[in-house]
Every structure is written in structure tokens, then in C-alpha cells.
């Protein structure tokens, strides 16, 4: 059944808590957190590597502001949720302070631990391919 499970704001708050290093959201973690990051070519499959990647991102970017718009949500057994959402991510380049905006498709999974508390288990920040964006921009520029 679609459009049930935890509210999108709850899932985003869990991700932002993790992303900002809020330890209250981290322990005890029932599963290893996996991450398909917009700024990596790897699939990150452990909590340690996820934390390391986000720490590296925090050095490259300024504060992050996220806006999520739900596309689909499936409830999971035990109270967890699988969410697909559209994300607009605002930040700045830490070196130049220039603003940055990215549009992603989010796949976020919250799973329930033995106590029934749900925690973030996976995050995909899917980024559109580069070439179609360049072609579309080129065509718009040609028409202007």
C-alpha cells in the first residue's frame, strides 16, 4: 500500500540529524547505514564510511538546507518506511561561498529495531545525468 508509513518530515529529520552529526540519532543503530551519495561514485555500505563521507562533504560545503516533496511512500513491517521524494538541496561552496542548488530523487529507508524504534537504514541521493542537462541548457541558450 502506498502513501502510508512515517511522515516525510520525520524521515527528513532523521537524515538531517545524522547528516549534522547529532549523536542522539545514531546509537544504538540497528543496521549499517548505506549511502548512494550525489557527490561520490561509490556505493557506501558501512556506517563508518557513511560518516566519513558526510564529514568530507561538510568540509566542502556550507550548511545544507533541504526541501522534500513526497513522491511515494511504502510502509514496512514493524513500523519502518520506504520513501521516494524529490529533494532540492541548497548550500554553498565552502571555498568560494558561492550558492549551490541541487535537485535529487531521494530513496530513504527507515527500519524498526527490536524495540520498535525506527532509524535510518539507507539513503540514495540520485542525481540526474549530466549530459541531458547540458544539452537542454545548450538548446535554451540557442533559443535566447
Residues contacting residue 60 through CB under 8 Å, at least 6 positions apart: 39, 93, 94, 95
Site for other proteins (CB under 8 A): which residue of 101, 129, 141, 143? Answer: 129
Please choose, from the candidates 71, 64, 107, 70, the residue with its C-alpha nearest in 3D space to the C-alpha of residue 89. 64
**107 vs 119: CA distance, rounded Å:** 14
> One symbol per residue from 66 to 95: x for binding other proteins (CB under 8 A), - otherwise; what is it?
-----xx-x-xxx-x-x-x-x---------
Nearest distance in Å: CB 71, other proteins: 6
Asked if the bond preceding 28 is cis, omega within 30° of 0, the reply is yes
**Residues that contact other proteins, how many (by CB under 8 A):** 41
User: If phi over 0 gives left and psi between -120 and 50 gives alpha, with beta otherwise, what is residue 3?
Assistant: left
CA 137-124-48 angle, 5° bins: 130
Nearest distance in Å: CB 56, other proteins: 12
Beta-carbon count within 10 A of 12 CB: 20
Q: Per rule CB under 8 A, is residue 130 in the interface with other proteins?
A: yes
Residues contacting residue 71 through CB under 8 Å, at least 6 positions apart: 84, 85, 86, 105
Nearest distance in Å: CB 90, other proteins: 14
Site for other proteins (CB under 8 A): which residue of 13, 38, 47, 49? Answer: 38
Q: Per rule CB under 8 A, is residue 103 in the interface with other proteins?
A: yes
Nearest distance in Å: CB 15, other proteins: 15
Residues that bind other proteins (CB under 8 A): 2, 31, 34, 36, 38-41, 43, 45, 71-72, 74, 76-78, 80, 82, 84, 86, 102-103, 105, 107, 109, 111-112, 121-122, 124-135
Amino acid at each position: 500500500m502506498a502513501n502510508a508509513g512515517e511522515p516525510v518530515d520525520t524521515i527528513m529529520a532523521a537524515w538531517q540529524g545524522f547528516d549534522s552529526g547529532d549523536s542522539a540519532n545514531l546509537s544504538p543503530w540497528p543496521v549499517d547505514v548505506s549511502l548512494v551519495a550525489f557527490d561520490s561514485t561509490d556505493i557506501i555500505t558501512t556506517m563508518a564510511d557513511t560518516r566519513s563521507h558526510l564529514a568530507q562533504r561538510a568540509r566542502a560545503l556550507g550548511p545544507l538546507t533541504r526541501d522534500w516533496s513526497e513522491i511515494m511512500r511504502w510502509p514496512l513491517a514493524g513500523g519502518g518506511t520506504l520513501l521516494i521524494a524529490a529533494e532540492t538541496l541548497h548550500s554553498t561552496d565552502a571555498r568560494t561561498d558561492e550558492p549551490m542548488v541541487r535537485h535529487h530523487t531521494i530513496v530513504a529507508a527507515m527500519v524498526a529495531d527490536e524495540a520498535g524504534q525506527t532509524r535510518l537504514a539507507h539513503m540514495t541521493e540520485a542525481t540526474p545525468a549530466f549530459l541531458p542537462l547540458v544539452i537542454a541548457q545548450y538548446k535554451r541558450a540557442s533559443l535566447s
